[in-house]
Copies of this chain bind each other. A is one copy, B any other.
Amino acid sequence: MTDIAIFGASGYGGQELLRYLATHPQIRVAAAVSGRWAGRTVAEALPHLEGFHEGLRFTAPDQPLPSSCAGVFLAVPHGTARDMVPRVEGLKIVDLSMDFRDESDGFVYGLTESNRNRIREADRVANPGCFATGALLALAPLASIGALAGDVVLSQTTGSSGSGAHAKAGTHHPERAQDMRAYKVLSHQHRAEIEDDVGRMGAGPCAVSMVPQSGPFARGIFTAAHVRLDPRLDSETDSDTDPEFDPFAIFAKHYADEPFVRMRPDTPTLRRVARTNYAEVSLHVADGRAVILSTIDNLGKGMAGQAIQNMNLLLGLDETMGLKTPGANA
């Protein structure tokens, strides 16, 4: 077993790390740091984890980490992760905040499917944002072959757990239960992150137009990415098409060996990926345009699940370890 620590263990990111790691065969949570819950056992604060993480108590942020720790998850607010890095120097770091998504300070951007070889060689991963993960899984197959450029329209709908563990007006149940609305229209912080990363993948210059929407579900991000199809790919798809120029073949190949990404012929769904690290993707082509749809759990593949996938790589473990628990149909 390898020991790790979690900073920010009482937020939803931290809670989900604890949930996935409860059954991880080779990672042990040696420290769960939370000012709010310091002193409590995991079972006291999170009754659904009673029987797991036996003996573990939350510790205050000013307590020293156990010397056994080889890695650390930073699930702390944007802006504070940067200050914590010196303190965990020498440990493998997966940072869930925005602070290093520009790949500064030796961090590698952690969209695992695109960057796993670089992550394996790295010590530090900047875990992608949840909206960015949903968008990039949709755009990567085209971006990585240089067939993405121009206007990219993103319509993305997130569940209420994306707002974090604390009650706020936007998650007040009577007003959220059957509502849908938008926020930060054309101005969400993930937009730049997405433009940067598709650039790294090989896309031409893209102008991302992003509308984040809030849906009345607890878990998930549904992404619809609308792009103009690269003319080289825009013959009508038929059985004679050269697979190199058949968009469906391009997607199938891109995700053929991915353990957590499933191509769907009709539509991705949120319910099947909820509470898992899996993603679903579908491609639709007509009249020179393509729509790519994707679904993830914002706290799973969009956050804690992908963070563990990346930590597995940093620690030299099988990337899927602790994450291959299937979702449900209902």
Write the residues of chain A forming the contact surface with B, with a CB cutoff of 8 angstroms. 12, 15-16, 19, 22-23, 46-52, 151, 153, 155, 157, 159-161, 163, 165-169, 171-183, 185-187, 207, 209, 211, 213, 215-220, 222, 224, 226, 228, 259, 262, 264, 266-275, 278, 280, 282, 284-287, 289, 291, 293, 295, 299, 324-330
Contact = CB atoms under 8 A, between A and B. Distances in A.
A161 B267 contact: no
Contact of A174 (B23, B47, B161, B266): B161
Contact of A173 (B16, B160, B180, B287): B160
B211 A178 contact: no
B328 A48 contact: yes
Contact of A153 (B161, B226, B272): B226
Nearest to A175: B330
Contacts of A175: 218, 271, 329-330
Nearest to A328: B275
Contacts of A209: 226, 286-287, 289, 291
Report, nearest first, the 3 A-B pairs whose CB atoms are least far apart.
A155-B155, A174-B330, A160-B173
Given A157-B157, A211-B224, A330-B175, A272 B48 contact: yes
Contact of A180 (B151, B167, B185, B217): B217
A291 to B, nearest CB: 6
15 contacts: A22-B326, A49-B326, A166-B172, A167-B171, A175-B218, A177-B216, A178-B218, A178-B270, A183-B266, A186-B286, A187-B286, A207-B289, A211-B291, A211-B293, A218-B330
A149 B19 CA distance: 41
Contact of A269 (B50, B181, B272): B181
A291 B153 CA distance: 10
Given A180-B295, A287-B207, A293-B182, A47 B167 contact: no
A259 B273 CA distance: 27
B267 A182 contact: yes
A176 B178 contact: no
A250 to B, nearest CB: 18
Contacts of A272: 47-48
A267 B187 CA distance: 13
Contacts of A328: 16, 19, 48, 275
Contacts of A293: 182, 185, 211
Given A161-B330, A167-B171, A325 B179 contact: no
A118 to B, nearest CB: 25
Nearest to A22: B326
A246 to B, nearest CB: 17
Nearest to A226: B153
Given A175-B330, A224-B182, A217 B216 contact: yes
A305 to B, nearest CB: 12
Contact of A178 (B180, B217, B284, B286): B217
A23 B222 CA distance: 27
